[in-house]
Amino acid sequence: MSAYLNTRVSLYAGRLWQAEYFDALLRVPDAEMASLLAQRGLPQLAAGYGNRDGSYDQLSLEQRIIAQTLDETRVLIRPLTGAERSFLIYWTARFEVSNVKTLLRGKMSGERPAALLARLTPMGSFGRLDNQALAHTEDVGELLRKLEAGPYAGIVRHARRAFEQSRDPFNLDAALDRGYYEGLAQRARPLETGSGPGLRTLMANLIDRINLVWLLRYRFNYNLPPAQVYFLLVDAHYTLTGARLRELAAQDSLDTVLAKLPQAMREQLVSVSDIPGVFARMESVAAERALKILHSGASTISRAFAYLILRERDLRYVRAVLRGRHLGLPGVDIRFALQRAPLTVM
């Protein structure tokens, strides 16, 4: 099993994009886009350029990116069993939680089931929800009850309580996000003790970044009170502990939050002055560490997870280029977006 997966991860590592690939993606004529994407290991995205004029079906871009991710994950989990397989399968559940959000918003706005179903991301063999039954529920209350009886009960239960207290769709979305990442951290914990430091490093970089960016956004963009901010953060066991997050949420400015971070994190964020910059810098550091783990003798699950993290970062950047081209943005603006790509939670 380890030999197969290590070999497969090493082969997949060759698909990761270099900086010059993005430059080529910016310059290539539309008619040659499909060929370039296929050459760079993105057949799902290449298939989107099926029109004679080389234009892209923008409505399917996000779904095609997710399909590419699911295809590669399906190959990587093939030899895995037990907790390692469950962990990587749960990593894909982010996309189905996004479907849950779509279903809930659709019910809130009275959207017809057929239109709602058309907007859901196909999950293939990774899907665990009966979307037909969920889309045809009468209202948000019935939908939440059905979800709470399903495979994501732990995530939905807390989200339902948050929604019932405020009837605020924002609280519902935020509670779903928190529930998902707490589930990921719980599944990672037993693997971290037996797979060496690699997996813990990857998880710490992910969860600490999510918590800090959410904290800053909730506190200073949305002006939420400290107690509510803390409630919406992921309960985990990495550098930013619960006690540290509670202290940070009580601060009254971005600068004071950054000044109270642990020294290693403060050093990472020297000269950063805004929230997108915090995410961009932390993600860049995390990507460098993931690349080292990918090309090291770390455990197979650590190397596979490092690849998936780096691959999704590449795909997000490809999406930024394709959308920028579709909107006719100057290349310099698209390049700037690649440097400061926003946090994509789900």
Longest dimension (CA), the chain: 58
> What's the pTM?
0.92
249 vs 242: CA distance, rounded Å: 10
User: Per residue in 126-169, pLDDT tens?
Assistant: 999 999 999 999 999 899 999 999 999 989 988 888 888 878 88
Domain housing 229: 199-297
pLDDT number for residue 343? 37
Residue 251 covered by a domain: yes
Residue 293 covered by a domain: yes
Residue 188 covered by a domain: no
* Per-residue DSSP letter, 305: H
pLDDT number for residue 345? 35
Amino acid identity, residue 156?
V
Under 8 Å between Cβ of 133 and 146:
yes
Residue 214 covered by a domain: yes
pLDDT number for residue 194? 86
39 vs 283: CA distance, rounded Å: 27
What is the mean pLDDT for each group of 10 consecutive residues in the chain (346 residues)?
A: 86 91 90 90 82 57 91 95 96 96 93 93 95 94 93 89 83 93 96 92 98 98 96 93 97 97 95 94 95 95 97 92 87 76 39
Residue 100 covered by a domain: no
* Count of structural domains within the chain: 1
Residue 86 covered by a domain: no
16 vs 12: CA distance, rounded Å: 7
User: Per residue in 298-343, pLDDT tens?
Assistant: 999 999 999 999 999 999 999 989 888 888 888 888 887 776 444 3
Residue 215 covered by a domain: yes
pLDDT number for residue 168? 85
Residue 227 covered by a domain: yes
